[in-house]
Amino acid sequence: MSNDTAPIRVNVLNAGAGESMSSRVLKSSWRGLSNFFIGIAILFVIWWFGIFLISSNPSTEHFADFGPIPALKAMPVLWEEGTIQSAILSSGYRLGSGLLIAICIGVPIGILMGRSRRFRELSNSPFQLLRMISPLSWEPIAVIVFATWNQAIIFLIAIASVWPVAFATAAGLAKVDPAWFKVARNLGAKPWHIVTRIIVPAITFDVLTGIRLALGVAWIVIVPAEFLGVTSGLGYSIQDAREGLSYDHLMAWVLIIGVIGYVLDSSCVLLIKRFSWHRGDE
């Protein structure tokens, strides 16, 4: 009798645990979604109230176009004109190219810093010096060196993004137990196997974290970099709206930049969670 009922009790317990887990996941998702919308609503209320107070003064009533309602009304107009799509494509190309260059340079440098003590000691001071130089400080040099503004902007994005990737990669590799490499070599692993089977899986979390940081820096750099010299992109669109005194369009572009940046950052967070070997939160 007890042997027959034991599997039933186990199945009931498993089903209950599964329902409890799914219920917790559902509650967590609902709480995160509600917090998101409540936070956005509070931000828009503060925005609207601030502009309302400013525009209530007759001498500054023209600031009313900086409010959230005119900005939201301007977004469909910009979309129908194709301006948003064109700006996103132009800025996206520059951003993607700069980040790709930064990753291709930063990851190998980070691996060298993490694996070679001598290289790390020699490179620390010059790398820290270069890292602390504002990326936009390179703009006059980039304009002279590169033939087009596109190339100059891509260089500015790359020089701004390479350091978070390199230092995050080095920090991730420094946490790897050296015994792993000794065991791998004793088992006959070749350098390529050590890179693909030990280093890459171990540092993926840190590399993606570095890319997320680099993306944030690059997203800040690309807008002012597009203020001059180009006739496309998000930065150019803001400059064009300002010069045309289209304040509702200007705030619409500011809002668009914030939304795109938020989506990009959230995508990086999802990738970090997906490829992380840290399982403590699961």
Reported as a single tens digit per residue, the pLDDT across 250-264 is 999 999 999 999 999
Tell me what the mean pLDDT of segment 85-101 comes to.
93
How far is the C-alpha of 279 from the C-alpha of 192, rounded, in Å?
Answer: 27
Q: Is 24 within the bounds of a domain?
A: no
Q: CATH number of the domain that 145 lies in? A: 1.10.3720.10
Q: Is 47 within the bounds of a domain?
A: no
Question: Of all residues in the chain, what percent carry a pLDDT higher than 90?
Answer: 27
pLDDT tens column, 17-35: 555 656 666 676 777 778 8
Q: Is 147 within the bounds of a domain?
A: yes
Determine the straight-line distance between the first and last CA of the chain, rounded to whole angstroms. 37
Exposed/middle/buried for 274, CB within 10 Å: 0-12, 13-18, 19+?
Answer: exposed
Q: Look at 3 and 23; give whichever has higher pLDDT.
A: 23
* pLDDT tier at 282, thresholds 50, 70, 90: very low
pLDDT tens column, 216-250: 999 999 999 888 778 888 989 998 888 888 888 99
Q: Is 217 within the bounds of a domain?
A: yes
How far is the C-alpha of 156 from the C-alpha of 193, rounded, in Å?
Answer: 35
pLDDT tens column, 134-151: 888 898 899 888 888 889
The CA-atom distances, in angstroms, between 125 and each of 118, 121, 181, 209 are 13, 8, 28, 23
How far is the C-alpha of 167 from the C-alpha of 246, rounded, in Å?
Answer: 42
What local confidence, expressed as pLDDT, does residue 109 receive? 92
Q: Look at 118 and 184; give whichever has higher pLDDT.
A: 118
Q: Is 241 within the bounds of a domain?
A: yes
Q: How many domains does the chain have?
A: 1
Q: Is 282 within the bounds of a domain?
A: no
Is the pTM value of this prediction over 0.85? Answer: no
Q: Is 117 within the bounds of a domain?
A: yes
Query: Residue 189: pLDDT above 50?
Result: yes
Q: Is 95 within the bounds of a domain?
A: yes
Q: For 281, which DSSP code?
A: T
What is the domain range of residue 124? 68-275
